[in-house]
Structure 1
Amino acid sequence: MFDRTQWFLAGMSIALSVQLSQPVAAAVPVGKTVQTSQTNSSEAAAKAFKEGLKLYQQGTAKAKRSAIVKFEIALNLYREAGDRRREAVTFSNIGLVYSGLGEKQKALEYYSQSLPLSRATGDRGGEAITLNNIGSVYSELGEKQKALEYYSQSLPLRRAVGDRSGEAVTLTNIGSVYSALGEKQKALEYYSQSLPLFQATGDRSGEAVTLTSIGSVYSELGEKQKALEYYSQSLPLR
C-alpha cells in the first residue's frame, strides 16, 4: 500500500497560515460580537492545528499523541466557529494519526465523522482523501474487498477535482490490493495507470514505489528478468 495522506496535513497548514496573516480589526462594531468570536475561534483553532502538525512531524509515538491533543483542541474551536470544512479536515487528520499509531478502529471512528462533513460542505477533494484513508485502514486490517470499495469511491473524486497526484496514489493502492488478492494482471493494469501520472507530476518517490511494486508482481509471476528491469529503474529514484 502506498500512503500519501500526509499531503492533507501539509495542505491545510498552508491554507491556515494564509488565514492567520489576515489583519484583525482593532475595534468591534456593535452587532458584530458573534462574528468576532468566530474569528477568534478560527485563529485559535489554526494555531492549535499548526502546533499539532509540528508535533506530528516529529514522528515519535509520544509526539503523535501530543498532536492528537492539539488537533482535538482545534476540532472544538472549528466547531465553535462553524467552520465545518476545517472540522472535517481535522477529524481526518486525527484519524491519520491514530492509524499511524496502529489504532485502526479509532482511526475509522474519526474518518467516519469527517466524511459526512466533507460531503455536506461540497469538499470533494477532502472527501476523496478521507475515502482513500479509510481504504488504507481496511487494507491494513486485511479487509481487501472493503478497501477496494473505498478506493473505488475515492478514484472518480480524485479525477473530478483534477488531483492527478492523488489519483496516482489511489491507483497504486488499488493495484496493491489486487496484488495481495493474487490478481497480478489486474494489479499491473492499475500500476500501469499510476506510473505515468507520477512521472507527469514529478513525484519521483511515488514513481519509485510503483516501479518497485511492478517489479514485485513480475517477480511473483516468475518473470525475474522483467522484475530486475523495474527494480533497476526504481533504485536511482529511491
Structure 2
Amino acid sequence: RGEATTLNNIGLVYSDIGQPQEALTYYQQALTISREVSDHRGEATTLNNIGLVYSDIGKPQEALTYYQQALLIMREVSARRGEAATLTNIGAVYSAIGQPQQALTYFQQALPIRREVSDRAGEAITLNNIGLVYSDIGEPQQALTYYQQALTILREVSDRAGEAITLNNIGLVYSDIGEPQQALTYYQQALTILREVSDRAGEAITLNNIGLVYSDIGEPQQALTYYQQALTILREVSARAGEAATLNNIGAVYGAIGQPQEALTYYQQALPIWREVSDRAGEAATLNNIGGVYRAIGQPQQALTYYQQALPIWREVRDR
C-alpha cells in the first residue's frame, strides 16, 4: 500500500511539472499494486489521477473511462468525498468538450455530497466549476453568483490559493462582459495572494490574465510587460503548457500591432511545446494562429496548410 501511495505521489509530481507520460508510468504501477493488495480506495484514487492526466493532455474519452471506473469503486466503498471529487472531475471533462448541461448534471450531483460530508474546500471547488460552466454558456451573472459563494467559503476556511483562483475567475467574467477595470481589480487581488503563498504557477496565470486585459483595451506594451513576466516564471517552474500558452499570447500581440514575423517566432516556439506535452487543443489553436499570420501577410496557401492541420485536431478533441 505504501509503495502504491508513493508511486502515486511521484506521478503527481511529474503531472505538475508537465511530464504526463512519466506520470502515467508511475500511476499504472500504483494501480497494479492497489489491485493486487485489494486497496479499493487506493485503486479509485489512482484511476482518478490517470483520468486527470488524460484530461490534461486532451484525451477526454480516455479520461472519462478512468473516472467512471473510479466512480463505481468510490460508490461501492461508500467513499463519499472521493465520489464527489470524481463527479467533479467528470463534470470538468464534459465542460471541456463543450457539453455544459452534462457538466452541470455531474457538478450538481457533487455539490450536495460535498455539503453532506462538510467538505467546505471541495464545496468551493464545485461552486467554482459550476460558475465556469455558466460563464462558458454566456450567463455571467449566474457565474458570478456561484463564484461569490465559493469566495465566501474559501475565505472562511482560509484557503488562500483557492481564494486567488476564484478572484481570477471573477476577473475573467468581468473581462468577458467588457468591464476591464473591474477585471483588473480582481486580478490584482489574486496576484497579491499568489505572491503571498508563493504560488509561482498561479502568479504566472494571473499575470497572463492581466496581459489579456491590457491587450483587449489596446495597450499592447503593457500586455507584453505582463506576458514577459509570466513567461519568465513559467520557464522557472517548468510549466510547459503555461509557457506555450504565454508564447501564444505574446505572438497574438505582435500580430495585432503589425509585426507578423515576430508573431510567427513566438507561435513557432509554442507549437513544439504543445506537442511535447500532448496538448492537442493548444496545438490546434497555435496552428490556427500561424495560419492567421500567413493569411494576413498574403500567403494563402501557407495559411491553408496550417488551417488544414488544425481542423482534424479540433474534431478529435470535439471542440465544436
Deviation for aligned residue 1:184:
1.0
Other-structure match for 1:72: 148
Q: Which one is further off, 169-178 or 132-141?
A: 132-141
Unaligned runs of 5+ in 2: 1-54, 57-79, 83-117, 315-320
1:85-133 deviations in Å (ceiling 9; x for gaps): 2221221121122222332221111001000110011000110110111
Other-structure match for 1:166: 242
Q: Tell me the C-alpha RMSD between the 2 structures.
A: 2.3
Which whole-Å CA distance do the structure 1 matches of 2:144 and 2:309 have between them? 39
Other-structure match for 1:105: 181
1:44 paired with 2:120, answer yes
Q: 1:24-173 residue pairs with structure 2 within 5 A?
A: 43-58=119-134, 59-62=136-139, 64-173=140-249
Other-structure match for 2:51: none
Deviation for aligned residue 1:180:
0.7
Which whole-Å CA distance do the structure 1 matches of 2:147 and 2:122 have between them? 10
Residue aligned with 1:174, SS: helix
Name which of 45, 64, 81 aligns with 1:21: 81
Counterpart residue identity of residue 137, structure 2: T
Deviation for aligned residue 1:231:
2.0
Greater relative contact order structure (CA < 8 Å, 6+ sep): 1
Residue aligned with 2:218, SS: coil
TM-score normalised per structure 1: 0.77
Deviation for aligned residue 1:45:
4.8
Number of matched pairs: 202
Name which of 271, 277, 287 aligns with 1:211: 287
Counterpart residue identity of residue 156, structure 1: T
Q: CA separation of 1:73/1:232 partners in 2, compared to 1, >3 Å: closer, same or farther?
A: closer
Other-structure match for 1:188: 264
Q: CA separation of 1:169/1:160 partners in 2, compared to 1, >3 Å: closer, same or farther?
A: same
Unaligned runs of 5+ in 1: 1-9, 12-19, 23-41
Other-structure match for 1:229: 305
Residue aligned with 2:182, SS: helix
Counterpart residue identity of residue 132, structure 1: N
8 A contact 2:231–2:243 mirrored in 1 = yes
Q: CA separation of 1:49/1:98 partners in 2, compared to 1, >3 Å: closer, same or farther?
A: farther
Give the percent of matched residue pairs that are identical in Structure 1 and Structure 2.
48
1:186-229 deviations in Å (ceiling 9; x for gaps): 11110110000111112222111111211221222222322222
Q: Which one is further off, 93-102 or 155-164?
A: 93-102
Counterpart residue identity of residue 204, structure 1: R
TM-score normalised per structure 2: 0.58
